Amino acid sequence: MVYVKDFKWTRGMTVEELVTGLDSVGFQSVELAKASETIIKMKESGAKIFFTFTSNMVTSGLRGFFAQVIRLKMADVVVTTVGGIEEDIMKSFGEKFPIGEFTADDVELHEKGTNRIGNLYVTNKSYERFEDIIHDMLKKVYDKKKRWTVSELLMEIGSMLNDENSILYQASKNNVPIFCPAITDGAFGFHLYMFQQKYPDFILDVVKDFANILFSTSQDEMKGMISLGGGVSKHHAILACLINGGLDYAVYMTTSRESSGSMGSATTREAKSWGKIKDNSDVATVIGDVTITFPLAMIKALEELSKKGLVKND
């Protein structure tokens, strides 16, 4: 039996000490500490780690941390949504996203050509510059060959970038595939459509890419997943792992509540009913803002793994 312990600050407290101290406070702090320990176990066991996140997290300053996580070999397969691809490329070319207010006048923002994502702003000008950038990139990949899977395309685009804080750049440099099954669900998709009107023999094979993620692991391989948010990015990785025998480790972080019945709100307990997660797996479901919960859990894990020589010091 574990009992509640009083949490106290000490001078010079590290992130590792902070998160460790939360494991007996109660409520979501316990799940946060458990999530960190589960990430450590994934790495120690040699599990293949699937890392999934939604595009709004790339809009935020987590983008550079995600790139660092890939560089530190804490993600073997990445699944995300197309907005994250777009904004990673935008930021690689110097776009800056202002921090505004959740309570901003949205009609006024629209009149100024500014789009709001929570309390973050992305201007229409950023999308206009993205159009020129992506067209040139697509022309270069088209000149190489005419048929690509999405993950191949993203690997190639990553090789064209020169930004250590870019997710695509680090994935390409470290040979980590990025899957984006809903590649058409955004500005990128529209530009793919327009490019194909000019070059009808340009093909993106989404079905072949589904085979690629299925064959990225196997029944015999240990599998872990760190899933931030929900939607297609979470489900696509889960489906690949389900078909290959289920996950041995899983960390879900979300703001959604289980009562909604959505993919984002689905807990690790619910996943066991589908066989997505094995019965005896180490799991944690953390309810809270990922911009807070993920850095805490992952940094604590990195500090411990670094001491054990399982990740290189940054």
The contacts of residue 183 (CB under 8 Å, 6+ apart) are 82, 85, 150, 189, 192, 204, 206
Strand partners, 140: none
Residue of 211, 188, 182, 221 whose CA lies nearest to 76 = 221
139 among known catalytic residues: no
Tokens of 149: 């899977």
Query: Per this entry, what is the length of the chain?
Result: 314
Strand partners, 147: 203
The contacts of residue 289 (CB under 8 Å, 6+ apart) are 255
Strand partners, 178: 78
Tokens of 226: 């760190």
Please give the DSSP secondary-structure letter assigned to residue 156: H
Q: Quick check: helix, strand or coil at residue 132?
A: helix
Query: Residue 121 — φ and ψ, nearest 5°?
Result: -115, 140
The contacts of residue 215 (CB under 8 Å, 6+ apart) are none
Catalytic residue among 43, 223, 276, 300: 276
Calpha distance 26→61 (Å, rounded): 28
Tokens of 30: 């316990």
Residues involved in catalysis = 276
